[in-house]
């Protein structure tokens, strides 16, 4: 029976996070540039405004259903297609179906939860796009929700999946050692990408935040999957003969 184990890092958690952030620098900058372009286009380029308003109208009509469908497309369909096309040269394997089912389940409820967070923040602090309101939302998003829930849960899910869903050793996810070894580096890498991204999201009307969050999620899941697979325990180590 497989067992989840934590491998000791030879570097400090913050150093591991900075290393991951540097490795993801180019994809992160591309993502941030796309989001900034859409923000500027929404306010200054009428065709972009019209297109994004159509997405906002769709989000208004579908509600949480939009969040779920968009998150599945962004978090499961696009990343797995990219893996097949780029890394597997078009060859579909059985593992791709497992990856898709896992990611579809995980990111569907995660997308709905983020939608709930955005709605609650709008109720708590209002929808005005001012420096104070945007700053408060970013701080709660990235320094409360992320370290207390999103980063550990996403790390748990992907590490458990990459280890083969073992039942033995899963208590290690709830230890300070796991948080120090895995979650803190993930947070450091996440902040480098997502602090600018969520700042842009909160500078948009509420109905546009989830549609553009889904766009950002598509690239982020590719980055996050890469980081989690770097931590994966080789099967021969996890199941010594």
pLDDT in tens, 150-167: 999 999 998 899 888 888
User: How high is the pLDDT of residue 232?
Assistant: 59
Output the six-digit token pair for 239.
């199941």
User: How high is the pLDDT of residue 150?
Assistant: 94
User: How high is the pLDDT of residue 149?
Assistant: 95
Cα–Cα distance for residue pair 107/112, rounded to 1 Å = 8
User: How high is the pLDDT of residue 25?
Assistant: 67
154 close to 186: Cβ distance less than 8 angstroms: yes
- Write the CB contacts of 221 (distance below 8 Å, at least 6 apart in sequence): 74, 75, 76, 78, 79, 103, 107
pTM metric for this prediction: 0.83
Cα–Cα distance for residue pair 12/19, rounded to 1 Å = 11
pLDDT beneath 50: ranges in the chain: 233-241
Dmax over Cα atoms in the chain, in whole Å? 64
User: How high is the pLDDT of residue 10?
Assistant: 66
Q: Which residues are bridge partners to 3 per DSSP?
A: 168
Cα–Cα distance for residue pair 87/80, rounded to 1 Å = 10
Q: How many CB atoms lie within 10 A of CB 109?
A: 12
């Amino acid at each position: 029976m497989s067992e989840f184990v934590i491998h000791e890092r030879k570097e400090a958690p913050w150093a591991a996070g900075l290393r991951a952030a540097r490795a993801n620098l180019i994809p992160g900058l591309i993502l941030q540039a796309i989001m900034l372009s859409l923000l500027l286009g929404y306010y200054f380029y009428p065709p972009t405004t019209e297109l994004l308003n159509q997405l906002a109208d769709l989000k208004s009509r579908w509600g949480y259903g939009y969040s779920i469908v968009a998150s599945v497309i962004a978090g499961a369909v696009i990343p797995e297609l990219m893996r097949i096309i780029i890394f597997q040269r078009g060859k579909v394997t059985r593992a791709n179906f497992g990856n898709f089912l896992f990611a579809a389940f995980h990111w569907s409820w995660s997308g709905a939860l983020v939608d709930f967070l955005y709605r609650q923040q709008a109720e708590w602090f209002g929808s005005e796009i001012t420096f104070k309101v945007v700053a408060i939302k970013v701080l709660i998003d990235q320094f409360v929700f992320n370290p207390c829930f999103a980063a550990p849960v996403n790390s748990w899910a992907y590490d458990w999946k990459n280890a083969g869903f073992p039942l033995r050793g899963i208590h290690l996810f709830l230890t300070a050692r796991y948080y120090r070894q895995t979650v803190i580096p993930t947070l450091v890498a996440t902040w480098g990408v997502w602090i600018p991204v969520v700042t842009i999201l909160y500078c948009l009307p509420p109905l546009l935040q989830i549609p553009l969050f889904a766009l950002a999620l598509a690239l982020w899941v590719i980055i996050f999957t890469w980081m989690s697979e770097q931590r994966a325990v080789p099967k021969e180590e996890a199941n010594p003969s």
